[in-house]
Amino acid sequence: MKKRFSLKKISLILAITFLFIQSFRIDKSTKPIDASKDLISITTPNTEVTLLLKTACYDCHSNQPTFPWYTNIAPISWWIKHHINEGSHHLNFSEWGTYVLKRKNHKLDECVEMLEKNEMPMASYTWMHQKAKITDAQRLLLIEWFKGLKESNP
């Protein structure tokens, strides 16, 4: 006769597993900002663009992400850390000054494309970060700013 797991046993196993995985914490350390390399410091955008970049982009695309309370809960924390690592690997505004002109122009084109396709900021990010949601007008402002930045590159 086969033994069946009861709902009580399954719940207990899940609870123990959940508690166990809490011991695997993410690294929340951040790198110091070198203003001579940071996009905002280098390009000095207006206040509105600066605020949009900080609230909608910098958490994943800089060396200074913020870690809300729920980043203390695994496996959510692992997922968020993965997003941060991926985002800053592909584009890091804190390292903007280290990019060669060709890479800067390519990244600016990608920024425009992602904004035009409404792929950034990611829906999974804005769902938990309501302040990062941008309006169509704000999206257009960022698109035009990125295009202007590319045109002003020597």
Where are the domains positioned within the chain? 26-152
Q: What is the pLDDT of residues 48-87, one digit of tens each?
A: 999 999 999 999 999 999 898 999 999 999 998 998 999 9
This prediction has a pTM of 0.85
CB 29 within 8 A of CB 85: no
pLDDT on residue 138: 97
Looking at per-residue confidence, does 64 or 153 come out higher?
64
Whether 1 shows a pLDDT value over 80: the answer reads no
- Name 30's Cβ contacts closer than 8 Å, sequence gap at least 6: 63, 64, 65
| pLDDT on residue 45 | 96
**Torsion angle of C-alpha atoms 40, 46, 50, 53, degrees rounded to 10:** -90
Least confident of 42-51, 87-96, 117-126: 117-126
Q: What is the mean pLDDT of the chain?
A: 92
According to DSSP, residue 65 is labeled: -
Q: Are 31 and 63 in contact (CB under 8 A)?
A: yes
- Tell me what pLDDT residue 33 has: 85
pLDDT for 4-26, tens place per residue? 778 888 999 999 999 999 999 99
Residue 141 vs residues 57, 127, 135, 144: alpha-carbon distances, Å? 14, 22, 10, 5
pLDDT of residue 2: 57
Q: Is the pLDDT of residue 99 over 90?
A: yes
What pLDDT score was predicted for residue 154?
A: 55
